[in-house]
Copies of this chain bind each other. A is one copy, B any other.
Amino acid sequence: MLNETHDPALRSWVASANSAGTDFPIQNLPFASFRRQGSDEAFRGGVAIGDQILDLAAVARTGMFSGDAGQAVQAGAQPRLNDLMAQGAPVWSALRLALSRALREGAAEQAALKDCLVPQAQAEYGVPARIGDYTDFYTSVHHATNIGRLFRPDNPLLPNYKWVPIGYHGRASSIGVSGQRFRRPVGQTMPPGATQPSFGPCKRLDIELELGIFVGTGNEPGDPVSMAQAEDHVFGICLLNDWSARDIQAWEYQPLGPFLSKNFATTISPWIVTLEALAPYRVAFERPADDPQPLPYLDSEANRRQGAFDIQLQVGLQTHRMREAGQGDASICRTSYRHAYWTVAQMVTHHTVNGCNLQPGDLFGSGTLSGPTLDQAGALIELTAGGKNPLQLPGGESRTFLEDGDSVVLRGWCEKPGAARIGFGECRGTVLPARA
């Protein structure tokens, strides 16, 4: 549902929010947890506006908002956003409307709110919620087919794929926010032709371009969430890099799934873009005509009509040498979230159909969001055909898998005629050498 907060003509008294290329115009208003860099301030919630952060703890101290919006600001002033996430869609919406009005050009609140701004350039970010459980899905049929072909050449797409939104539980403790630096993982691998495993640093360290979906309100054990209710339980979406050690994965993953190949680090963007902000970018969910239709519990007319999101996605790679030369990251993938085979609503409904309880702050990964063509693949193992076709980088370097010192940057944004461009900021992580 579009409303006044989506009007592309809206301008903010925060001038940087009105520049053409910003990720954070007044139509976006995403949430993060932040404090001033290098300070010992408490983390608290903030809302991005242009190149500034509206500090929700400072806003709460003004007492300027009342009712649902006031409650939301109080909750958003906490170090993590779980309390805000628990309050539910009508409260998030009330806060969005109040902030949109207060940040507009000419708003009476400008005088009080300008003292609540912190420049993003001075901020450091925290993981925005206490993540109780992290679930990683597998919603791109293109990724499932590409990677299935490498792991199981005879049997790339398993028979359950088009019926079951495949997911598995991941590790919450090692989720970090953009800027995360982690050591190359060490572990067991079974080299081709070997008769016993080797032990040492991962040789096939990869990325996975994903979106992260933050659960807002939870559900009680035993109470499934229907497709009609599913999106009311979703607070918003961030970028997510599911770093993956492919050689460790190939040896460990049967029969119970990936474990040490994934749980050493997962990086998310600090900013969570709400579903309401994304409303102008809903698109039809395009299941091929000769594929089976979803079982009734996973189907709804609304999901078919506008279950998907047209979020543009890009992966950048910056080697140590590029960084030293002052060179930015090179784009290695461009795709859109619209190509996913299962929607956010289907993830929520499937996850709870057995009675599993979700809690505010739980995080879902979308799974690697590879699009239909090779340059739209969201992992190096796909982009390089399992390491056989290296990527050529500007400056003469090439990559099959990640090397020490490499940084990877995910970016996401939405744009189309007649709507304000909004973005996700970036999700950056850097590989450090393995422990000696």
Contacts and interface: CB of A to CB of B under 8 A. Distances in A.
Given A188-B163, A255-B148, A355 B172 contact: no
A182 B121 CA distance: 49
Interface residues of A, number: 70
B355 A264 contact: yes
Given A170-B169, A187-B354, A257 B260 contact: no
A264 B221 CA distance: 8
A190 B353 contact: no
Contact of A160 (B135, B160, B252, B297): B252
| Binding site secondary structure of chain A | loop
Contacts of A185: 354-355
Nearest to A197: B163
A237 B173 CA distance: 21
Contacts of A253: 255-257
Contacts of A297: 199
Contacts of A259: 135, 166-169
Contacts of A152: 255
A310 interface: no
Contact of A354 (B163, B197, B245): B245
Interface stretch (A67-75, A356-364, A375-383): A356-364
Interface in A169-189: 169-174, 176, 182-183, 185-188
A354 B221 contact: no
B197 A295 contact: yes
Contacts of A263: 169, 354, 356
Contacts of A418: none
Contacts of A167: 256, 259
Contacts of A199: 295-297
Contacts of A159: 190
A377 B123 CA distance: 56
A132 B133 CA distance: 8
Given A163-B188, A167-B259, A295-B197, A172 B132 contact: yes
Copies of this protein in the assembly total: 2
Given A160-B252, A252-B164, A265-B221, A355 B257 contact: no
Contacts of A172: 132-133, 172
Contacts of A251: 160, 164
A158 to B, nearest CB: 5
A148 B256 CA distance: 11
Contact of A351 (B148, B190, B260, B362): B260
Contacts of A21: none
Contacts of A264: 221, 354-356
Given A138-B256, A221-B264, A248-B354, 5 more contacts: A160-B197, A166-B252, A169-B171, A182-B222, A260-B350
21 contacts: A138-B256, A158-B255, A166-B252, A166-B259, A167-B259, A168-B169, A168-B259, A169-B169, A169-B170, A172-B172, A174-B357, A183-B221, A185-B355, A186-B224, A186-B354, A188-B295, A199-B296, A222-B432, A257-B257, A261-B354, A355-B435
Q: Give the 4 A-B CB pairs with smallest separation, nearest first.
A: A257-B257, A185-B354, A169-B169, A168-B256
